[in-house]
Amino acid sequence: MSAPTHIAVPIMLGDVAADRQAALAAVAMGADLIEWRMDTATPPDVRELFSDPAVRSIPWILTVRPIWEGGHFGSDEAARLHMIKCCMAYRPAYIDIELKAWADHAFFAEYYRSINLESRPKLVLSSHHFSGRPAELQQVLGAIASHPEAAVAKIAFQSQTIHDALDAFALYDRLKQYPRLQGVFIAMGEQGAISRTLAGKYGAAFTFATLPGGASTASGQPSIRELLDVYRLRQQEANWAVCGLVGWPVAQSVSPQMHNAAMQELKFGGVYVPIPLPGDREAFNGAVHRLQTAGSLNLRGLSITIPHKENAYRFVKAAGGQVQGRDVGAINTIVFGSEAPPVGLNTDAPGGLQALRRGTGWTSTDLAGKRAVLIGAGGVAAGLATALADLGCHVTIGNRTLARAQELAAHIQLHGGDCRAVNIHQLEFEDADLVVQCTPVGMHPHTDSTPIPPSQRLRPGTVVMDTIYNPRRTQLLQWAAAQGAICIEGIEMLVGQGELQFQEFTGFDPPAGTMRNAAVNALGLPGAESTIDASGPA
């Protein structure tokens, strides 16, 4: 096993006292290195910073990044070399010099070679591309490798799609041609974030992180705690399985916390990551095919969320895979085997029914004859509407696009279910026994929105379940509680469907309560407080 990937926290030196405290806090949280960005610092700033023995004891990367490569140092290269020399007295572990500067200005190499071997820092030759992935990506690596002094090849480029992160991973395979080199290959931005969170799996020399709530020096940087506590960066190994959440957006999801907590408790060799993927069916197909065929990734399974549940269904069908359970034209789970076609299934419906049973005490028999109103006609609604109709509920589906609701209702009727479709503005709730909100309306950050006009009325005792879990108590549930409804929060369905997915991905049952506790903690919910409210209005 290769050396563990280090966590480096970049700090742009400005306010010496505050930055000193930030560095000490980073190390206390688990950082291995501080990248001191000296772009705008002065020699007196540097002397003041390193006058503290505690700061001097922290291994660090020296970087003075010029404006022409995304930094803030505005003087000429001779002045930058002078600043580097001022900093060298404090014995950095690494020094980061841009490939272009190293190639264009011989005095950088001459100075580096003049440093005594015992105090010479490891040389990081870096190349940054802020307009996107360079076409000659592998040639850039070859150019860095051509300089024998380089110890670490660092290539960072702005990501446009998930393909860019996979291109960064491919560089680690190419790096094997240069056994003396370590690599740091980063697809910057949200869509390349897995190039940071999976850095340990690929044996990166280090990856960059922020303090919780701290400013980042590049887009997509996770926090120290996320890397250590959620993604288990230091435990990652090359053969670990990867699972992920595909959708747009996914930044608000707590699924990574849930699945990784269960994997950690079971000591399962795998990691679960968010995979942001905007776009249409074509974008989905291309991205998932690339994820599936990236052999070094070892993709085990994908959770699917908005807007790709129908795209996922079509992907599995087109790949010759099997869709388990009732065919509703949408799935939220794809499981991949080493050779077999992918398997699709939908854990939304059983997870939702589990939440409903817990919140009401109803059995499957009790649901027969209940009047259920579902808001929305997407993948979640399709699964729940079908399951409720199968159990004998009288189902009404309301959707902004009536044709979509009609198509779903016709499918349910074809299988003997009682279901009708109306425009969302025609929905009535006073006679409903159960209302299920299946749209993203009211989800963070648009928490003031609700799909039901406040003028609508409910009977006291009506059961209202929201499939949104962030925020915990949506505007819809607040409105329902004020009218005496029994409210079931989205976290209950989230945990139920997530536990079923975990079983499919890993072959193991998640430890009891682990995934729910992780979700509660991630959302900042009181752990002992139930998220099922049967008390009516306060």
Supply the residues annotated as catalytic. Answer: 309
Q: Which residues 6+ apart lie within 8 Å of 460 measured at CB? A: 483, 484, 485, 536
Please report where in the chains the tokens 């079923």 appear, as a residue. 500
3-state secondary structure 307-334: CCHHHHHHHHHHCCCEECCCCCCCCCEE
**What are the tokens at 214?**
């701290």
Alpha-carbon span 85 to 87, nearest angstrom = 5
How many CB atoms within 10 Å of residue 326? 16
Distance CA 273, CA 256 (A): 6
Gap between the terminal Cα atoms of the chain: 57
Query: Do 271 and 232 form a contact (C-beta atoms < 8 A)?
Result: yes
Q: What is the DSSP string of 330-347?
A: --SEEE--SSSPPEEE--
User: In 3D, which of 430, 427, 408, 426 has the Cα closest to residue 417?
Assistant: 408
> Strands 343-345 and 322-323: what pairing?
parallel
Q: What is the DSSP letter of 475?
A: H
CA distance linking residue 197 with residue 231, whole number of Å: 7
Rg of the chain over all Cα atoms, to the nearest angstrom? 27
d(CA 275, CA 245): 6
Tell me the C-alpha distance between 146 and 142, whole Å: 6
Cβ atoms 435, 375 nearer than 8 A: yes
DSSP character string of 257-296: HHHHHHHHHHT-SEEEEEEE--S-HHHHHHHHHHHHH-GG
Q: Which two tokens stand for residue 320?
A: 């010759």
Neighbours of 474 (CB within 10 A): 27
Asked if residue 43 has a cis previous peptide bond (ω within 30° of 0), the answer is no
d(CA 96, CA 102): 10
**Order of all β-strands in the sheet with 532-533:** 418-423, 394-399, 371-375, 434-437, 463-466, 486-488, 532-533
